[in-house]
Structure 1
Amino acid sequence: MSMLAPGSLPPGLRVYAIGDIHGCAARLAALHAAIAADWDLSPTERCAVVHLGDYVDRGPDSAGVLKRLMQPPPLPDAETVLLRGNHEVMMLEALAAGPGTAAEDLWLANGGRTTLRSYGPAGPPEAHLALLRATTLSWQAGDYLFVHAGIDPRRPFSLQREQDLLWIREPFLSWPHPLERVVVHGHTPSRAPELRRHRIGIDTGAVAGGPLTALVLEADMLRFLSA
């Protein structure tokens, strides 16, 4: 069901934004299939598929998630955007620092062990690590800013810190005032998508038994898909 969105996109553009995946490769495959079916029912001129980060850790098949993200997008002509989450940062820093380091301890304590198990003794291939290094911190379209965690609402968008884009919760989540753009984010799980005047949160806890959610934005409307 479509509803009025808090922002708008340029004419002819549709955006599918996907929340935190956390190793749930089967759910990602199902959601990509749902996006393809949705597109086939009603295509538009342009499309972007935006993944909001946290592809790895905690869930059973992080290796499968990254393998899928290396394949062609679910829509052949779509722009694919891979944003960086805090779990990608922890993984890259841990593997660079090596065994027995504080960086490795932090990663393992936050679900890194399940990621390592999904790869087996050989560990993550370089192609997967290169994919994670190539992720970006943000993406913009129309009235929307897409990031992993959120922004520091006390700072202009041009002065945001990487730490906040990857990790912030407060004061962003409870900020009561308008922002320069509507922020689409994951990072903080909720039972259902959170729709506010200045933000849309779509981490619906797929790794904890909730659905994997995609926000569909077009013109001044929004709706949701899930798997």
Structure 2
Amino acid sequence: MSDQKFALLGRPRRIWAVGAIHGDAGRLAALHEDIGARFQAGDRLVYLGNMVGRGALVRETLDELLYFRRHVMAKPSVLASDIVYLRGGQEEMWQKLLQLQFAPNPLDVLHWMIGQGVEATLAVYGGTAAYGIAAARDGAVSLARWTNDLRAAMRNAPGHGALFSALRRAAYTSDAQGQPTEMLFVNAGLDTAKPLHMQADIFWWGGNSFPRIDQPYGSVRRIVRGYDPAHGQGGAHLTDFTASLDGGAGFGGRLVCGCFAPDGALLEMVEA
């Protein structure tokens, strides 16, 4: 499997996994203050997707993610590969929006994205839903001009383009040959009947079947997700084989981070 799609975590000391943020920059900063003081060399930090969208402070959230990355990497022996960002449904929509002129029905797609909360990310780069709808009605040339302007604005925001380019589909603890071992981290869902390379968009749109996982996934003892389609109603949830870390951030709830041992044991839960 290509490490361009999946992040190989090796066998770390601990894994800090951050649930869906949805633009809640204040809770993210508070969470960072807590775990930042305790993050050590040998740890990994995995953001489980849906970092953007929905909330009013998407730009501030992205800037906080980048600031904290610099802070953590300033610690002795911490590597860039120790920090992983997963693609969630919101990040997937943003990437697809930047290619909207190639969609066979761009106006319908844009209306659906707006209903799913992409407008909060759109506003970061000077875009509006009304302008996008007008461009979609005007045709592919107008749409291409609009999406090119959005892409340029993203690249002009320091670090934003690099962060979106660094997104991975999933992350897992791995052996010396790069094969999955005890822990797998995803955005929303997983089809346990399929191997990882065949999951495709199940990672971000297959969340409804996640609660029904009742057995190990090959060598993986625990699957951890960061986004719950129910937006964390009832808070974070742990079973024998899974962990769901959506506390409802961006929907009036809390931001959740689980700290795990490499064998899948939950060491602690941190909330902000």
TM interval, short-chain normalised:
0.7 to 0.9
Q: Which has the higher contact order (CA 8 A, sep 6+)?
A: 1
Tell me: CA distance 1:95–1:105, structure 2 relative to 1, closer, same or farther (3 Å): farther
CA-atom RMSD in angstroms: 2.4
Whole-angstrom distance in 2 between the partners of 1:111 and 1:194: 24
TM-score normalised per structure 1:
0.83
Matching of residue 64 in structure 1 with residue 77 in structure 2: no
TM-score normalised per structure 2:
0.70
SS for the counterpart of 1:136 is: coil
CA contact (8 A) 1:20 1:212 kept: yes
Whole-angstrom distance in 2 between the partners of 1:106 and 1:66: 24
- Indicate which of 112, 132, 149 corresponds to 2:188: 149
Deviation by residue 1:169-194 (Cα, 9 ceiling, x = unmatched): 24332132332211110221323211
Which residue of 1 is the match for residue 117 of structure 2?
Answer: 111
Tell me: CA distance 1:113–1:221, structure 2 relative to 1, closer, same or farther (3 Å): closer
SS for the counterpart of 1:140 is: strand
Whole-angstrom distance in 2 between the partners of 1:109 and 1:210: 20
Whole-angstrom distance in 1 between the partners of 2:193 and 2:56: 38
CA contact (8 A) 1:94 1:101 kept: no
Whole-angstrom distance in 1 between the partners of 2:208 and 2:113: 22
Matching of residue 186 in structure 1 with residue 226 in structure 2: yes
CA contact (8 A) 1:20 1:53 kept: yes
Consecutive unaligned residues of structure 1, counting only runs of 5 or more, are 1-8
Query: What amino acid sits opposite 2:72 in the alignment?
Result: L
Identity of aligned residues (%): 28
Displacement of 1:159 in angstroms is 4.2
Displacement of 1:25 in angstroms is 1.1
Whole-angstrom distance in 2 between the partners of 1:133 and 1:103: 22
Which residue of 2 is the match for residue 3 of structure 1?
Answer: none
CA contact (8 A) 1:140 1:146 kept: yes
SS for the counterpart of 1:63 is: helix
Which residue of 1 is the match for residue 91 of structure 2?
Answer: 88
SS for the counterpart of 1:207 is: coil
Deviation by residue 1:84-106 (Cα, 9 ceiling, x = unmatched): 00111111111221596333222
Larger mean Cα displacement after TM superposition, 96-105 or 209-218 = 96-105
> Which structure's CA Rg is the greater one?
2
Which residue of 2 is the match for residue 47 of structure 1?
Answer: 43
Query: What amino acid sits opposite 2:65 in the alignment?
Result: L
Tell me: CA distance 1:14–1:113, structure 2 relative to 1, closer, same or farther (3 Å): same
Q: Counting helix residues as a fraction of each chain, which structure ranks higher?
A: 2
CA contact (8 A) 1:90 1:103 kept: no
Query: What amino acid sits opposite 1:206 in the alignment?
Result: A
Which residue of 1 is the match for residue 213 of structure 2?
Answer: 175
Whole-angstrom distance in 2 between the partners of 1:205 and 1:221: 20
Consecutive unaligned residues of structure 2, counting only runs of 5 or more, are 1-9, 128-148, 174-180
**Count of paired positions:** 213
Query: What amino acid sits opposite 1:69 in the alignment?
Result: L
CA contact (8 A) 2:213 2:242 kept: no
Query: What amino acid sits opposite 1:216 in the alignment?
Result: C
Deviation by residue 1:49-83 (Cα, 9 ceiling, x = unmatched): 10000111110111111222233525232511000
Which residue of 2 is the match for residue 5 of structure 1?
Answer: none
Which residue of 1 is the match for residue 72 of structure 2?
Answer: 75
- Indicate which of 141, 161, 164 corresponds to 1:132: 164
